[in-house]
Amino acid sequence: MRTLKQKKLTIKHIILEKTGGVCSKCGKPLPLEKTTIDHLIPKYRGGTDELSNLIPMCKRCNKQKGSRIVGVEELRYLSKAAHEMLE
Ligand SMILES: [Zn+2]
């Protein structure tokens, strides 16, 4: 049986693959345990918990971002495929 913790790690792994293992904003390499997951479109703006709305970010960028919406142009390290999903 898979634990909730394992499930979360799997999700993190999938999200981290969107950038090839770096922060989607600053490009810093992110080990799995230091990855924070952020909503591309905040929940209060109608964003969902779908994988397509989640992006990997380092703690620093996540903190800087706060609750504002990140412009797609700021997410230089997000893969092209992920960008296309946003359009
Ligand atoms: Zn960062």
Q: What are the tens digits of pLDDT across the range 3-31?
A: 888 888 899 999 999 999 999 999 999 99
Domain span including residue 16: 4-86
Number of domains in the chain: 1
| CATH number of the domain bearing residue 30 | 1.10.30
**Choice between 12 and 68, residue whose per-residue pLDDT is larger:** 12
- The rounded Å distance from CA 22 to ligand 1 centre is 8
Instruction: Give the mean pLDDT of 29-42.
Output: 92
Residues around ligand 1, an ion, CB closer than 5 A: 23, 25-26, 58, 61
Half-sphere exposure of 72 (CA within 13 A, CB side): 10
User: What's residue 17's pLDDT?
Assistant: 94
Reported pTM: 0.80
CA–CA separation, 28 vs 36, rounded Å? 12
Instruction: Give the mean pLDDT of 54-83.
Output: 84
